[in-house]
Structure 1
Amino acid sequence: MSIIVTNEITVPAERGELVAARFAANSQSLKDFDGFEGFQLCRPTDPADDRWLVITHWRDEDAYEAWRSGKDFGASHPKGEKAKGNVDARSVVRHYDVAFAAPGN
Protein backbone atom coordinates (compact mmCIF):
# COMPACT_ATOMS: atom_id res chain seq x y z
CA MET A 1 0.00 0.00 0.00
CA SER A 2 1.07 3.60 -0.57
CA ILE A 3 2.57 6.04 1.87
CA ILE A 4 1.62 9.66 2.36
CA VAL A 5 4.09 12.34 3.42
CA THR A 6 2.71 15.60 4.81
CA ASN A 7 4.62 18.79 5.33
CA GLU A 8 3.05 21.66 7.28
CA ILE A 9 4.64 24.95 6.20
CA THR A 10 4.13 28.54 7.29
CA VAL A 11 3.35 30.86 4.39
CA PRO A 12 2.98 34.62 4.94
CA ALA A 13 -0.38 35.82 3.57
CA GLU A 14 1.25 38.16 1.06
CA ARG A 15 3.29 35.24 -0.39
CA GLY A 16 0.44 32.74 -0.78
CA GLU A 17 -0.21 33.13 -4.50
CA LEU A 18 3.50 33.10 -5.32
CA VAL A 19 4.10 29.98 -3.22
CA ALA A 20 1.12 28.22 -4.86
CA ALA A 21 2.47 29.10 -8.32
CA ARG A 22 5.93 27.78 -7.44
CA PHE A 23 4.50 24.52 -6.13
CA ALA A 24 2.47 24.15 -9.33
CA ALA A 25 5.57 24.71 -11.47
CA ASN A 26 7.73 22.35 -9.39
CA SER A 27 5.07 19.63 -9.37
CA GLN A 28 5.68 19.03 -13.07
CA SER A 29 9.02 17.38 -12.26
CA LEU A 30 7.24 14.99 -9.88
CA LYS A 31 4.72 13.52 -12.31
CA ASP A 32 7.26 11.30 -14.08
CA PHE A 33 9.24 10.36 -10.96
CA ASP A 34 9.17 6.60 -10.32
CA GLY A 35 6.88 5.86 -7.38
CA PHE A 36 5.14 9.25 -7.26
CA GLU A 37 1.36 8.86 -7.04
CA GLY A 38 -0.08 12.30 -6.31
CA PHE A 39 0.24 15.73 -4.75
CA GLN A 40 -1.94 18.35 -3.06
CA LEU A 41 -1.14 21.80 -1.70
CA CYS A 42 -3.78 22.83 0.83
CA ARG A 43 -4.33 26.49 1.73
CA PRO A 44 -6.00 27.19 5.09
CA THR A 45 -9.60 28.38 4.93
CA ASP A 46 -9.19 30.55 8.04
CA PRO A 47 -7.61 33.88 6.98
CA ALA A 48 -5.81 34.11 10.34
CA ASP A 49 -4.09 30.75 9.79
CA ASP A 50 -0.82 30.82 7.86
CA ARG A 51 -0.12 27.05 7.99
CA TRP A 52 -0.40 25.31 4.63
CA LEU A 53 -0.31 21.54 4.17
CA VAL A 54 1.69 19.82 1.44
CA ILE A 55 0.57 16.23 0.83
CA THR A 56 2.47 13.82 -1.40
CA HIS A 57 1.51 10.22 -2.18
CA TRP A 58 4.20 7.63 -2.90
CA ARG A 59 4.29 3.95 -3.84
CA ASP A 60 6.55 3.27 -0.84
CA GLU A 61 9.14 4.82 1.47
CA ASP A 62 11.98 3.94 -0.92
CA ALA A 63 10.39 5.95 -3.74
CA TYR A 64 9.96 8.97 -1.45
CA GLU A 65 13.55 8.74 -0.20
CA ALA A 66 14.87 8.45 -3.77
CA TRP A 67 13.09 11.70 -4.64
CA ARG A 68 14.12 13.34 -1.34
CA SER A 69 17.80 12.63 -1.96
CA GLY A 70 17.70 13.52 -5.67
CA LYS A 71 18.53 16.67 -7.63
CA ASP A 72 14.89 17.65 -8.24
CA PHE A 73 14.24 17.96 -4.50
CA GLY A 74 17.35 20.08 -3.99
CA ALA A 75 16.45 22.36 -6.88
CA SER A 76 12.92 22.95 -5.58
CA HIS A 77 13.93 23.41 -1.93
CA PRO A 78 16.50 26.25 -1.83
CA LYS A 79 18.45 26.93 1.33
CA GLY A 80 20.12 30.03 2.73
CA GLU A 81 19.75 33.32 0.87
CA LYS A 82 17.73 31.76 -1.97
CA ALA A 83 15.05 30.61 0.47
CA LYS A 84 14.51 33.93 2.26
CA GLY A 85 10.95 35.24 2.02
CA ASN A 86 9.43 32.05 0.65
CA VAL A 87 8.16 29.95 3.54
CA ASP A 88 9.15 29.46 7.15
CA ALA A 89 11.94 26.87 7.29
CA ARG A 90 10.42 25.32 10.42
CA SER A 91 8.16 22.81 8.72
CA VAL A 92 6.55 19.74 10.27
CA VAL A 93 7.01 16.60 8.15
CA ARG A 94 5.08 13.40 8.91
CA HIS A 95 4.95 10.01 7.15
CA TYR A 96 1.86 7.79 7.09
CA ASP A 97 1.11 4.29 5.82
CA VAL A 98 -2.23 4.04 4.07
CA ALA A 99 -4.20 1.54 6.16
CA PHE A 100 -7.35 1.78 4.05
CA ALA A 101 -8.41 3.71 0.98
CA ALA A 102 -11.91 4.09 -0.46
CA PRO A 103 -12.36 5.10 -4.10
CA GLY A 104 -14.16 8.35 -4.87
CA ASN A 105 -16.94 8.88 -7.38
Structure 2
Amino acid sequence: MASVVKINVLTVPAEQREVLEKRFASRAGSVDNSDGFEWFELLRPVDGTDRYLVYTRWRSEADFEAWMAGSMRGAHKPAESAESAEGGEKPKPAATDSTLWSFEVVQSAGPRNTDQG
Protein backbone atom coordinates (compact mmCIF):
# COMPACT_ATOMS: atom_id res chain seq x y z
CA MET A 1 0.00 0.00 0.00
CA ALA A 2 1.36 3.41 -0.96
CA SER A 3 1.61 6.31 1.47
CA VAL A 4 -0.70 9.28 1.01
CA VAL A 5 0.16 12.96 1.07
CA LYS A 6 -2.22 15.67 2.22
CA ILE A 7 -1.35 19.27 1.40
CA ASN A 8 -3.45 21.92 3.06
CA VAL A 9 -3.16 25.12 1.00
CA LEU A 10 -3.69 28.10 3.32
CA THR A 11 -4.22 31.63 2.03
CA VAL A 12 -2.56 33.85 4.62
CA PRO A 13 -2.51 37.66 4.42
CA ALA A 14 0.92 39.19 4.98
CA GLU A 15 -0.08 40.64 8.37
CA GLN A 16 -1.09 37.15 9.60
CA ARG A 17 2.05 35.22 8.54
CA GLU A 18 3.79 35.55 11.90
CA VAL A 19 0.59 34.56 13.72
CA LEU A 20 0.22 31.41 11.60
CA GLU A 21 3.85 30.38 12.08
CA LYS A 22 3.70 30.94 15.85
CA ARG A 23 0.52 28.85 16.10
CA PHE A 24 2.16 25.98 14.24
CA ALA A 25 5.30 26.30 16.40
CA SER A 26 3.20 26.13 19.57
CA ARG A 27 1.72 22.82 18.37
CA ALA A 28 5.03 21.36 17.16
CA GLY A 29 5.10 17.62 17.63
CA SER A 30 1.36 17.26 18.29
CA VAL A 31 0.87 15.00 15.27
CA ASP A 32 4.15 13.08 15.54
CA ASN A 33 2.81 10.16 17.58
CA SER A 34 -0.38 9.70 15.57
CA ASP A 35 -0.80 6.21 14.16
CA GLY A 36 0.36 6.15 10.55
CA PHE A 37 1.93 9.62 10.59
CA GLU A 38 5.13 9.79 8.52
CA TRP A 39 6.09 13.42 7.80
CA PHE A 40 5.15 17.08 8.34
CA GLU A 41 6.40 20.35 6.85
CA LEU A 42 5.06 23.91 6.97
CA LEU A 43 6.17 25.63 3.76
CA ARG A 44 6.40 29.44 3.68
CA PRO A 45 5.87 31.12 0.30
CA VAL A 46 8.84 32.99 -1.17
CA ASP A 47 7.65 33.83 -4.69
CA GLY A 48 5.13 36.58 -4.00
CA THR A 49 2.13 34.35 -3.30
CA ASP A 50 0.15 34.41 -0.06
CA ARG A 51 -0.30 30.63 0.08
CA TYR A 52 1.37 28.47 2.71
CA LEU A 53 1.50 24.71 2.21
CA VAL A 54 1.03 22.34 5.13
CA TYR A 55 2.51 19.02 3.95
CA THR A 56 1.72 15.81 5.80
CA ARG A 57 2.44 12.24 4.74
CA TRP A 58 0.53 9.24 6.09
CA ARG A 59 0.89 5.48 5.86
CA SER A 60 -2.70 5.24 4.56
CA GLU A 61 -5.87 7.20 3.88
CA ALA A 62 -7.45 5.41 6.86
CA ASP A 63 -4.70 6.71 9.19
CA PHE A 64 -5.25 10.26 7.97
CA GLU A 65 -9.04 9.93 8.38
CA ALA A 66 -8.60 8.58 11.92
CA TRP A 67 -6.39 11.54 12.82
CA MET A 68 -8.92 13.95 11.30
CA ALA A 69 -11.73 12.37 13.32
CA GLY A 70 -9.85 12.36 16.60
CA SER A 71 -6.48 13.85 17.42
CA MET A 72 -6.56 16.67 14.84
CA ARG A 73 -9.50 18.31 16.56
CA GLY A 74 -7.48 18.64 19.77
CA ALA A 75 -4.36 19.78 17.90
CA HIS A 76 -6.27 22.57 16.18
CA LYS A 77 -7.92 24.04 19.26
CA PRO A 78 -6.47 27.52 19.71
CA ALA A 79 -3.81 27.70 22.37
CA GLU A 80 -4.81 29.72 25.42
CA SER A 81 -3.30 33.13 24.92
CA ALA A 82 -3.33 36.42 26.78
CA GLU A 83 -5.66 37.94 24.19
CA SER A 84 -8.19 35.08 24.38
CA ALA A 85 -7.99 34.83 28.18
CA GLU A 86 -8.60 38.53 28.72
CA GLY A 87 -11.33 39.09 26.16
CA GLY A 88 -12.89 35.66 26.37
CA GLU A 89 -12.87 35.46 22.57
CA LYS A 90 -11.25 32.79 20.45
CA PRO A 91 -8.43 34.10 18.25
CA LYS A 92 -9.48 34.56 14.65
CA PRO A 93 -8.03 32.19 12.05
CA ALA A 94 -4.76 33.33 10.49
CA ALA A 95 -5.77 31.93 7.09
CA THR A 96 -8.58 33.40 5.01
CA ASP A 97 -9.03 30.27 2.88
CA SER A 98 -8.05 26.60 2.96
CA THR A 99 -8.01 23.88 0.31
CA LEU A 100 -6.98 20.26 0.87
CA TRP A 101 -5.05 18.48 -1.89
CA SER A 102 -4.67 14.69 -1.76
CA PHE A 103 -2.01 12.57 -3.43
CA GLU A 104 -0.83 8.97 -3.46
CA VAL A 105 2.94 8.51 -3.33
CA VAL A 106 4.01 6.78 -6.53
CA GLN A 107 7.77 7.27 -6.19
CA SER A 108 10.05 8.86 -3.60
CA ALA A 109 13.73 9.21 -2.74
CA GLY A 110 15.40 10.26 0.46
CA PRO A 111 18.55 12.29 0.96
CA ARG A 112 21.83 10.60 0.19
CA ASN A 113 24.04 9.64 3.08
CA THR A 114 27.11 11.87 2.66
CA ASP A 115 28.77 10.67 5.86
CA GLN A 116 32.18 9.29 4.83
CA GLY A 117 32.77 8.29 8.46
Same fold (TM over 0.5): yes
| CA-CA distance at 1:28 after TM superposition | 1.5
| 2:99 alignment partner AA | V
Question: Does 2:42 correspond to 1:34?
Answer: no
Larger fraction in helix: 1
**Aligned residue number for residue 44 of structure 1:** 45
Residue in 1 aligned with 2:86? none
SS in structure 1 of the partner of residue 62 of structure 2:
helix
Q: Secondary structure at the match of 1:74?
A: helix
Q: Cα distance, 1:27 vs. partner?
A: 3.3
Residue 103 of structure 2: aligned partner? 96
Tell me the distance in 1 between the aligned counterparts of 2:91 and 2:76. Answer: 8
Instruction: Determine the C-alpha separation between the residues in 2 that align with 1:65 and 1:27.
Output: 20
Q: Aligned-pair RMSD on alpha carbons?
A: 1.9
Moved over 4 A (4+): none
Task: Tell me what 2:94 maps to.
Answer: 86
**CA distances 1:27-72 after superposition (whole Å, capped 9, x unpaired):** 31111111111101111102x42111111010100100000011x3
Q: Shift of the alpha carbon at 1:94? A: 1.1
TM-score by length of 2: 0.76
Contact 2:30 2:75 in 1 (8 A): no
Go from structure 1 to structure 2 and tell me whether the alpha carbon gap of 1:83 and 1:99 turns closer, same or farther (over 3 Å shift).
Answer: farther
- State the TM-score, normalizing by the size of structure 1: 0.84
1:65/1:51 Cα in 2 relative to 1: closer, same or farther (>3 Å)?
A: same
1:101 offset after TM fit, Å? 0.7
Q: Which amino acid aligns with 1:16?
A: R
Alignment match, 1:21: 22
Q: SS at 1:68's partner residue?
A: helix
Give the counterpart letter for 1:13 in structure 2.
Answer: A
Whole-angstrom CA distance in 1 between matches of 2:93 and 2:28:
20
Structure-2 residue corresponding to 1:53: 53
Q: 1:85 to 1:99 in 2, by over 3 A?
A: closer
